[in-house]
Amino acid sequence: MAKAIKGFKPDFLWGGATAANQVEGAYDKDGKGLNTADMVKYIPKEERGIHNFSMDVTADYIEDVLAGKVDDRYPKRDGIDFYHHYKEDIALFAELGFKVFRLSINWSRIFPNGDDAEPNEAGLQFYDNVFDELKKYDIEPLVTLSHYETPLELSRKYNGWYDRRVIGFFTKYAETVFTRYKDKVKYWLTFNEINVMTHSPYTGGGVLVDKLPNKTKDQIAYQAVHHQFVASSLATKLAHEIIPDVQVGCMLARMETYPHTNNPDDILEAQHQNDLNLFFTDVQVKGEYPSYMNRYFAENNITVEKETGDDEIIKQYPVDFISFSYYMSVTVSTQGKHDEVAGNMIKGGVKNEYLETSDWGWQIDPKGLRVALRDFHNRYGKPLFIVENGLGAFDKVEEDGSIHDPYRIDYLKKHIEQMKEAVKDGVDLMGYTAWGPIDLISMSTSEMSKRYGFIYVDQDDDGNGTLNRSKKDSFDWYKNVIATNGEEL
């Protein structure tokens, strides 16, 4: 009889997750080229609506910005200046007791235009410095190759991932960084939230849909993401050739979807929405397009152009583990019920009467994380890694400088409790990197006030502030969670 599993394994990888375009800043320093995130302007919530997002950009807008005709502000160009604060920030992560730190390499720091013949040495050196700093504290880097940071020139010259030639530029970038950091990085992710392409082709792949007026967004997105599937498999192949004990993961924004009622139509719609979300991990884990997508493609006039060998490459080089982000669950109704409930930028759905929502309308569902973990385990049977989870919230700095964030502790405590239940259910969970361990620029709204961190950063939505770092109450709480390997919550 197998021994009952009590809790997280001894080498469980506790840590935090960031993205270059949301923390680094220095958008034009040391040879870095512009990337797609550098073109995303800040829109105040009064104009945008707190539940709405500002991520999409048009080809004309890009040219106007480059021609100096526009006077907008781009918070992701400055981030929280991790580029100059990385030693201080990593020391704080070490104080928390991190075993792992998730970051992305800014592709346009390495190849400024994306299709350059040679890499930018200053960019390569920056990440050598970051990995060396992490090594000082025995913190493992978990590196995302592409986290919404497509080099802007690839958008302007090729229309991003819609053009198959970007596969070659990406694999050259991957081979360059695998070779450079083969002794420093063993955990790699290829595309962050690869499913976001179908919701925002600009964010997911630097694709300018306004350049393709005769094609539907779905047609454009599924063609572009096919190129990313091929590129991800080729990168996985290269990683295993270059780095001996490498582990390569895919990365999905998991949108666990529930039926609003026990009406069979609601059940079928939830199953369909879950399939559309898990399509991306089906391809990257099982190594082939699932048959249920043939019907969806046919009914939506989507034709994915493949080249000879694509299917074989995808089949031959699946990922070693599955990583995903989890913030909320989604509820769908086929009975004409429509509430104004914001989801992630992915989908809103209808109100779930049993759940609370965050300040940004995201429905908080800790048990949904256990559901998602069990679903992944039963569907794939591969190791899992939660690489994003957290609560974006308004924080208040008290007169004495303290910051009390019991709401964040409550959110994380409840999600970690459910992770432990999933582990007891038999799920093979590698680690957990809380999203935004240090306050950073929101991906979907470019706000600073949507804070996730255990560490507060003094900067407001207009970019004013000292950038001073300070600890919130949740800092010591998470430090203890890690110190007790998740036993004390």
Residue 146 or 223 having the CB closest to ligand BGP:
146
Three-state secondary structure call for residue 317: coil
Residue 239 or 440 having the CB closest to ligand BGP:
440
Q: Which residue of the set 388, 399, 417, 488 is catalytic?
A: 388
Residues 251 and 144 sit within 8 Å (Cβ to Cβ) = yes
Smallest separation (angstroms) from ligand BGP to the CB of 393: 10
Q: How far apart are CA 252 and CA 234, in angstroms?
A: 18
Smallest separation (angstroms) from ligand BGP to the CB of 390: 7
Residue 51 or 337 having the CB closest to ligand BGP:
51
Residue 120: which residues within 8 A CB-CB, separation 6 or more? Answer: 30, 31, 32, 109, 110, 111, 112
Smallest separation (angstroms) from ligand BGP to the CB of 244: 29
Smallest separation (angstroms) from ligand BGP to the CB of 83: 17
Smallest separation (angstroms) from ligand BGP to the CB of 255: 10
State the distance between the two ends of the chain, measured CA to CA, in whole angstroms.
30
Q: How far apart are CA 384 and CA 374, in angstroms?
A: 10
Smallest separation (angstroms) from ligand BGP to the CB of 445: 6
Residue 23 or 314 having the CB closest to ligand BGP:
23
Indicate the pairing of strand 429-435 with strand 384-388. Answer: parallel
Q: Which residues contact ligand BGP (rule: CB under 6 A)? A: 19, 22, 192-193, 253, 325, 344, 388, 392, 435, 442-445, 450
Smallest separation (angstroms) from ligand BGP to the CB of 346: 8
Residue 144 or 233 having the CB closest to ligand BGP:
144
Q: How far apart are CA 218 and CA 118, in angstroms?
A: 34
Q: Which of 127, 142, 145, 237 is nearest to 193 (CA)?
A: 145
**What's the DSSP call for residue 410?**
H
Residues 8 and 420 sit within 8 Å (Cβ to Cβ) = yes
Three-state secondary structure call for residue 421: helix
Q: How many residues does the chain have?
A: 489
Smallest separation (angstroms) from ligand BGP to the CB of 103: 11
Cα separation values, 348 from 268, 388, 472, Å: 18, 19, 30
Residue 153 or 447 having the CB closest to ligand BGP:
447
Residue number with the shortest CB distance to ligand BGP?
443
Residue 287 or 348 having the CB closest to ligand BGP:
348
Residue 31 or 361 having the CB closest to ligand BGP:
361
Q: How far apart are CA 297 and CA 107, in angstroms?
A: 31
Residue 174: which residues within 8 A CB-CB, separation 6 or more? Answer: 145, 190, 231, 234, 235, 238, 239
| Side-chain-side CA neighbours of residue 238 (13 Å) | 21
Q: How far apart are CA 340 and CA 46, in angstroms?
A: 17
Sign of the CA dihedral with 355 first, then 391, 193, and 486 last = negative
Indicate the pairing of strand 429-435 with strand 13-17. Answer: parallel
DSSP 158-203: H-GGGSTHHHHHHHHHHHHHHHHTTTT--EEEEETTGGGGGT-HHH
269 in catalytic set: no
Residues 206 and 154 sit within 8 Å (Cβ to Cβ) = yes
Q: Which two tokens stand for residue 193?
A: 């939230």
Residues marked active site are found at 388
